[in-house]
């Protein structure tokens, strides 16, 4: 982490902030939203996580009926960026219009996410319509290429630390990159919000929800409620999970979904290795995040002093406040029409399927020959 921060400074970053801080913000909002839904008998359950943009688009296309179930809380980078251009800019005396916000992620889908129309909360705050919350998203693989192009030797860099205000994260924010990590982090915060006490040892570590099985599930007792929760990774596993949930009419309160196997540690933007990505490699990355979580004192996002300061000074004192809702929550789009009039794109109906592209090419060739 220290070398990554040093590398980003060397590449020209004026301020280097921690995306895990954004993860803590996501947990603050998502855990609060979950408790609201659980308490309110009319609310839609289960609540699905929505921090994975690939899963969000998958739901928008294939499962639009679940859009009311998606947490409206934005993802870590999508909360971090507008907060940088408002709270951080004000605190540091910076002109938000001069800020170029770059997110470094393990994820290719985040390039799509930052271009969504909804990701413009800082534009509304400053009334600068063309401002985007995040200006660029580069993957960790692209960062590695960039460092090579600039002839920066990563291994020789002296460790550097994040800038203050948005540079410290809880253990919950750190494990966000693992399948099951968002769920575990959310339960730590939800427990504290609901009971005023730290989550018990059964939740830290939350063993039932850790691991590489396609879907893991558990019951969590918080106060007088028992929540049935699950964590799923990989869209193939997700389809099977949803089919079973429907067939057996299983009630869940909260479901974490990550499109990539293992979670973001296995993201499509991560540096490529010579050997095919195997679970052994994913598990090693996961273990390193859990080790780091075990080392830090602050386990829950709501106990992060920088998060407490942000909410006290900028978001009207609490998650889900009017201001937090406006800046940190989002909306979704039903994209099921993308599948075509029959509701499913088949090789026969899809204009970009290989057989139809071949047919179109042959027709174009025949037309050209006829013209000659």
Residues that bind ligand SF4 (CB under 6 A): 52-54, 106-107, 109, 258-260, 263-264, 267
Could you say which of 29, 32, 33, 60 is catalytic?
A: 33
Could you say which of 51, 107, 137, 260 is catalytic?
A: 51
Residue 316 Cα distances to 123, 313, 321, angstroms: 20, 7, 6
Could you say which of 29, 52, 107, 113 is catalytic?
A: 113
Q: Which is nearer to ligand SF4, 56 or 166 (CB)?
A: 56
Structure tokens at 253: 């309160």
Q: Is 156 helix (H, G, I), strand (E, B) or coil?
A: helix
**In the annotation, is 217 catalytic?**
no
**In the annotation, is 107 catalytic?**
no
**In the annotation, is 365 catalytic?**
no
Radius of gyration of the chain (CA): 22
Contacts of 367 (CB under 8 A, 6+ apart): none
Where residue 140 falls (left for φ over 0; alpha for ψ -120 to 50; beta otherwise) is alpha
For the bound state, the minimum distance from the C-beta of residue 314 to ligand SF4, rounded and expressed in Å, comes to 26
Q: Which is nearer to ligand SF4, 67 or 77 (CB)?
A: 77
For the bound state, the minimum distance from the C-beta of residue 30 to ligand SF4, rounded and expressed in Å, comes to 14
Q: Which is nearer to ligand SF4, 38 or 52 (CB)?
A: 52
Q: Which is nearer to ligand SF4, 229 or 260 (CB)?
A: 260
Beta-strand pair 136-139/102-105: parallel
- CB-count exposure of residue 288 (10 Å: 0-12, 13-18, 19+): middle
Q: Which is nearer to ligand SF4, 53 or 171 (CB)?
A: 53
For the bound state, the minimum distance from the C-beta of residue 328 to ligand SF4, rounded and expressed in Å, comes to 17
For the bound state, the minimum distance from the C-beta of residue 84 to ligand SF4, rounded and expressed in Å, comes to 19
Could you say which of 10, 91, 118, 240 is catalytic?
A: 118
For the bound state, the minimum distance from the C-beta of residue 281 to ligand SF4, rounded and expressed in Å, comes to 15
**In the annotation, is 33 catalytic?**
yes
Q: Which is nearer to ligand SF4, 23 or 89 (CB)?
A: 23
**In the annotation, is 51 catalytic?**
yes
Nearest-CA neighbor of 35 among 260, 193, 184, 154? 193
For the bound state, the minimum distance from the C-beta of residue 113 to ligand SF4, rounded and expressed in Å, comes to 8
Max alpha carbon distance in the chain (Å)? 81
State the helix-helix crossing angle for 19-39 and 181-195, rounded to 10 degrees.
60
**In the annotation, is 321 catalytic?**
no
- CB of 100 within 8 A of CB of 134? no
Could you give the CA distance from residue 353 to residue 355 in angstroms, rounded to a whole number? 6
Residue 71 Cα distances to 237, 269, 351, angstroms: 20, 24, 34
Beta-strand pair 47-48/215-222: unpaired
Catalytic (active-site) positions: 30, 33, 51, 71, 110, 113, 118, 264
């Amino acid at each position: 982490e220290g070398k990554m921060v040093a590398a980003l400074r060397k590449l020209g970053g004026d301020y280097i902030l921690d995306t895990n801080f954004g993860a803590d913000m996501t947990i603050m909002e998502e855990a609060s939203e979950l408790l609201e839904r659980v308490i309110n008998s009319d609310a839609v359950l289960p609540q699905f996580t929505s921090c994975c943009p690939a899963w969000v688009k998958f739901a928008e296309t294939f499962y639009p009926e679940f859009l009311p179930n998606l947490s409206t809380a934005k993802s870590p980078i999508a909360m971090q960026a507008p907060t940088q251009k408002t709270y951080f800019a004000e605190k540091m005396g910076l002109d938000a219009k001069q800020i170029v916000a770059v997110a470094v992620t393990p994820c290719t889908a985040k390039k799509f996410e930052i271009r969504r129309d909804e990701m413009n909360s800082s534009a509304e705050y400053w009334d600068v319509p063309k401002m985007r919350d995040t200006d660029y998203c580069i993957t960790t693989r692209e960062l590695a290429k960039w460092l090579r192009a600039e002839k920066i030797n990563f291994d020789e860099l002296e460790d550097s630390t994040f800038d203050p205000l948005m540079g410290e994260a809880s253990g919950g924010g750190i494990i966000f990159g693992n399948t099951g990590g968002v769920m575990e982090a959310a339960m730590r915060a939800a427990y504290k919000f609901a009971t005023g006490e730290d989550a018990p040892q059964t939740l830290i570590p939350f063993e039932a929800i850790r691991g590489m099985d396609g879907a893991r599930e558990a019951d969590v007792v918080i106060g007088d409620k028992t929540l049935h929760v699950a964590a799923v990774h990989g869209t193939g596993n997700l389809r099977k999970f949803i089919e079973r949930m429907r067939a057996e009419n299983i009630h869940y309160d909260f479901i974490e979904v990550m499109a990539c196997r293992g979670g973001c540690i296995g993201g499509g933007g991560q540096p490529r290795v010579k050997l095919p990505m195997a679970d052994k490699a994913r598990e090693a990355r996961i273990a390193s995040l859990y080790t780091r979580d075990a080392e830090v004192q602050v386990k829950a996002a709501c106990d992060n002093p920088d998060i407490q300061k942000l909410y006290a000074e900028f978001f009207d004192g609490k998650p889900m406040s009017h201001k937090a809702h406006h800046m940190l929550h989002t909306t979704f789009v039903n994209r099921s029409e993308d599948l075509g009039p029959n509701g499913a794109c088949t090789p026969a109906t899809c204009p970009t399927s290989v057989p139809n592209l071949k047919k179109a090419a042959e027709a174009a060739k025949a037309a050209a020959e006829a013209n000659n």
